[in-house]
Amino acid sequence: MIADWEVAKTQGVCGGCGRSFEPGQEYYAALVEESEEAEEGEKEKSQASGGFERQDYCEECWERESPEAFCFWKTRVPEPAQKKKLLVDDEVLLEFFERLAEASERVKINFRFVLALILMRKRILKYQQTQLRDGQEIWIMGQVREQTKHEVVNPRLDDAGIEEVSEQLSAILRSEL
């Protein structure tokens, strides 16, 4: 399953114009649906199972091309000595979680489940109850600050599966050159 979640790290260049990013420069990182026309070699380098691939854009190309992104965030190229850190805020995580609500692919269900666990740990979501439907365990969760409810399929991942998906989530959300 690890190969299913491989996402290329930023290559340090804009996907629109091909210019290299400079330390301190802001750019947009986006998860986009994987192109079916992508050549096999390119697909292997930037594959994220479930149809996601990462693309980075300088601000000019982002505004000009307006790519259709499943999720995106604005980040900055770190200074060479700067320690790498997670650059995504809670709202981005919650939006990504909500956008995966209708996903039916196993990989996206697993991804959403791990996002739910992260959001529970951050006290953004709170577990309320479990329901069984068609042999599937569904967790009912509420947003702590909102009156909204979310249904999350429990894919019954073991600890290794949760750790694997968590590592891949971190790789997607991390700004690494």
Domain boundaries, the chain: 2-76, 90-157
Long-range contacts of the stretch 58-65 (C-beta < 8 A, 24+): 58/14, 58/16, 58/17, 58/19, 58/21, 58/25, 58/27, 58/28, 59/26, 59/27, 59/28, 60/16, 60/17, 61/14, 61/15, 61/16, 61/17, 62/16, 62/27, 62/28, 64/16, 65/16
Q: Is the pTM of this model over 0.85?
A: no
The pLDDT assigned to 125 comes to: 94
The pLDDT assigned to 101 comes to: 93
Instruction: For residue 100, give the 3-state DSSP assignment.
Output: coil
Residue 125 to residue 34: CA distance in whole angstroms: 29
Residue 99, φ and ψ in degrees, nearest 5 = -70, -20
The pLDDT assigned to 173 comes to: 66
The pLDDT assigned to 131 comes to: 95
The pLDDT assigned to 177 comes to: 32
Residue 138, strand partner residues: 131, 153
The pLDDT assigned to 32 comes to: 80
Angle, helices 90-99/106-121, rounded to nearest 10 degrees: 150
- CB hemisphere CA count around 71 (13 angstroms): 20
Sheet holding 52-58, edge to edge: 52-58, 26-33, 71-76
* Residues 40-81: tens digit of each pLDDT: 444 444 344 456 788 899 999 999 988 888 788 888 888 887
Residues in contact with 66: Cβ distance below 8 Å, sequence separation at least 6, in sequence order:
none
End-to-end alpha carbon distance in the chain:
24
The pLDDT assigned to 22 comes to: 92
The pLDDT assigned to 174 comes to: 60
The pLDDT assigned to 72 comes to: 85
List of the chain residues with pLDDT < 70: 1-8, 35-51, 82-88, 171-177
Give one word for 135, left, alpha or beta, with left for phi > 0 and alpha for psi -120 to 50: left
The pLDDT assigned to 50 comes to: 55
